[in-house]
Amino acid sequence: MSRGSILAIDDEQNIRHLIESEFSMEGLAVTTAGSGEEGLKLFDTEEFDVVLLDINLPKLNGVEVLKRLKQKSPDTEVIMITGYGDIKSAVDSIKQGARDYITKPFKLDEILALVKQAVKENRDHSKIKGEASEKGLEESLDYINCPSQAMRPAYALAKKVAATDITVLIQGETGTGKDVMAKQIHRQSKRNDGPFIILDCGLLTQNLAESELYGHRKGAFSGASERKLGLVEKSNNGTLFLDEIGNIDLELQKKFLRFLETRRFRRVGETQESQLDTRIILATNMNLQEALKKGDLREDLFYRMDVIQIYLPPLRERPEDIECLARHFLQEDTFEIGPKRISGDALKILTAYPWPGNLRELKSVINKAAILADSEIIMPQALPSHLALNKEVRCRPSRTLKDIEKEHILKVLEETGGNQSKASEILGINRKTLYKKIHTYKIFS
Ligand SMILES: Nc1ncnc2c1ncn2[C@@H]1O[C@H](COP(=O)(O)OP(=O)(O)O)[C@@H](O)[C@H]1O
Ligand SMILES: [Mg+2]
C-alpha cells in the first residue's frame, strides 16, 4: 500500500463521484460504496486508511456502520459527513471512535486536508503497531523540546528515566503528547533496538483481553487453531506502552497488576508461567487523584509498583510553546506543498486560543492552514474562523451591561445548581426580580 486508500460511503451518487474524481487527482486511491452494508462488506477483502462515512444513510445508519466498522478494523480512521442539524449524532460518532466530522456542504479543500492528515497519522501509527515495530522503531520521530518553563520537568524526567527500566506513568490531557513522549523514552533507552508495542487499553474487553494480551496455545479454545503470540509477549526485550490505562475495567486492572509487578504471565490454555523482559510505560488522560478517589483506578496499580510520573501540562498553560510547535508542524508537513512561514497576525491568533485539543488540535489547524493558504505565508484567513472568534469574544469591547448581567446570572445559577433562592441571595436581588430577569433573558429556554 503506497498510496493512501480511501473508502467513501455515501448514498448520494454525485457526492461519491465528486470525491472519487477529486481525490484521485490528489493521488489517493478511492473506492466508493452506496450503502453501509456494501461498505462493510468491502472490509472482508480490503484495507483502507480512511473512511468517509455519511451519517445519514438509509437502512443501516452511519453511526451503526461506524460501530461495526471499528470492530472489523479498529485502526481505520473514520471521518463522518454530517448534514446541518446532525450535531448530536456527530458527537455520538466521535464517542464511537470517529476521528472527526465535516458538515455538508463542505469545501473540497477542507475535506482533503482532513483526509490527508488522517492517512498520514494512520500510517505512522500502524507502522509502530505492525511488523516494523518488532524490529524496532525505524521511522524518524520528530520530537521537539520547546522552550516553556512548564515543560522542563517533563523533559528532564524523560531523559533520566530513559536510561533505566523503571515503570513510567505519563499523565496529561488528550493531545498533550503522551504517545510521542513514550516513544521518545523508548528510543533513548537501551531497548531502542527492541520492539515498541502499543496497547490501547480502551479497546480491551474482558473476553478479548486475555488471549490478545497473553496469547494462547493451539487448541486452547474452540477457534484457536494456531498458537498465538500475545501483545505482551511481542514486547519482549522492548517496551510495552499501555495507553489510556484508566480505561481498563477494575477486574482487568487487578489481573494486570500481577503482570506489571512480576512481568510473569500465562498464555491461555497453558499451565506454566513465562517470564518477560519488558519495559512498561503507562499513559492516562485522567486526573489521577480524582480517578483514585472515584474508584475508577485501583490504588495498588500505582502505589505497589515503583512508578515515576511525568506530567504533561496542557498547551494553554504553556502558550510560549505555540510558536515553536506551529513552526515545527509546518516544517514537518509531509505533503511538501504550501507555505513554510506564519504571519505575525496569524501567530497572535494561535497564541491567544486556549487549544482544548492541545498539540493535536494545533497540528491539525496548521496542516489545514498549509493546504488552504494562498501564498507563501500563512495569514489569519487560512485559520479556522473560530480561533479568531475566540479572541474577539475574550476582548470584545462591544458588550452591553445587559450581556454582562445575563452572563453573570447564568454563572451564579450554574454555581448554585439552579437554586433560585440561593442565587438571588448571592446576586443581592430578591427572588421575584431574579425570576423576571430569567424570563427576560430567556435563560432557561
Ligand atoms: N514534543 C513533540 N514534538 C513534536 N510533536 C509532538 C510533540 N508532542 C506532541 N506532538 C504531536 O502532537 C500530537 C498529539 O500527540 P500524542 O502523543 O498523540 O498525544 P496524546 O497521546 O497525549 O493524546 C501528535 O501529532 C504528536 O506528533
Ligand atoms: Mg494518546
pLDDT band at 176 (very low <50, low <70, confident <90, very high): very high
Q: What is the pLDDT of residue 310?
A: 95
Sheet containing 196-200, strands listed edge to edge, beginning at the edge strand earlier in sequence:
196-200, 239-243, 279-284, 167-171, 307-311
CA 402 to chain centre: 39
Residue 288 burial (CB count, 10 A): 16
Atom of ligand 1 nearest to the CA of 179: 17
CA–centroid distance, 161 to ligand 2, in Å, is 19
CA–centroid distance, 139 to ligand 1, in Å, is 16
Answer yes or no: is the C-beta of 173 below 6 A from any ligand 1 atom: no
Q: What is the pLDDT of residue 10?
A: 94
Strand 279-284 vs strand 228-229: parallel, antiparallel, or unpaired? unpaired
In the listed set 111, 129, 147, which residue is the last one of a domain according to the structure?
A: 129
Answer yes or no: is the C-beta of 171 below 6 A from any ligand 1 atom: no
pLDDT band at 67 (very low <50, low <70, confident <90, very high): very high
In the listed set 108, 129, 150, which residue is the last one of a domain according to the structure?
A: 129
Tens-digit pLDDT profile for residues 333-355? 655 566 778 999 999 999 999 99
Tens-digit pLDDT profile for residues 369-380? 887 777 788 989
Cis ω on the peptide bond leading into residue 105 (within 30° of 0)?
A: yes
Residues 196 and 286 in one domain: yes
Helices (H) and strands (E) in the chain, counts: 20, 16
Residues 205 and 290 in one domain: yes
Residue whose C-alpha is closest to residue 53's, from 85, 10, 107: 10
Residues 152 and 281 in one domain: yes
Residues 9 and 23 in one domain: yes
Q: How many domains does the chain have?
A: 4
Cβ(170)–Cβ(283) below 8 Å: yes
Helix axes 108-129, 13-25, angle to 10 degrees: 70
Answer yes or no: is the C-beta of 360 below 6 A from any ligand 1 atom: yes
Residue 8 burial (CB count, 10 A): 27
Pocket test for ligand 1, best of 128, 359, 368 (most atoms within 8 A of CB): 359
Q: Which amino acid is at 219?
A: G
Could you tell me the residue range of the domain that residue 268 belongs to? Answer: 132-311
Answer yes or no: is the C-beta of 278 below 6 A from any ligand 1 atom: no
Answer yes or no: is the C-beta of 133 below 6 A from any ligand 1 atom: no
CA–centroid distance, 265 to ligand 1, in Å, is 31
Q: Provide the residues around ligand 2 (an ion) whose CB is within 5 A.
A: 178-179
Cβ(264)–Cβ(275) below 8 Å: yes
Q: Is residue 169 part of a domain?
A: yes
CA–centroid distance, 231 to ligand 2, in Å, is 18
Average per-residue pLDDT in the chain? 83
Pocket test for ligand 1, best of 187, 198, 360, 367 (most atoms within 8 A of CB): 360
Answer yes or no: is the C-beta of 86 below 6 A from any ligand 1 atom: no
Q: Is residue 99 part of a domain?
A: yes
Residues 267 and 147 in one domain: yes
In the listed set 270, 289, 311, which residue is the last one of a domain according to the structure?
A: 311
Q: How far apart are CA 236 and CA 239, in angstroms?
A: 7
Residue 274 clears pLDDT 70, i.e. is over it = yes
Q: Which of 143-157, 215-229, 289-303, 381-395 has the lowest mean pLDDT?
A: 381-395
CA–centroid distance, 203 to ligand 2, in Å, is 13
Residues 145 and 271 in one domain: yes
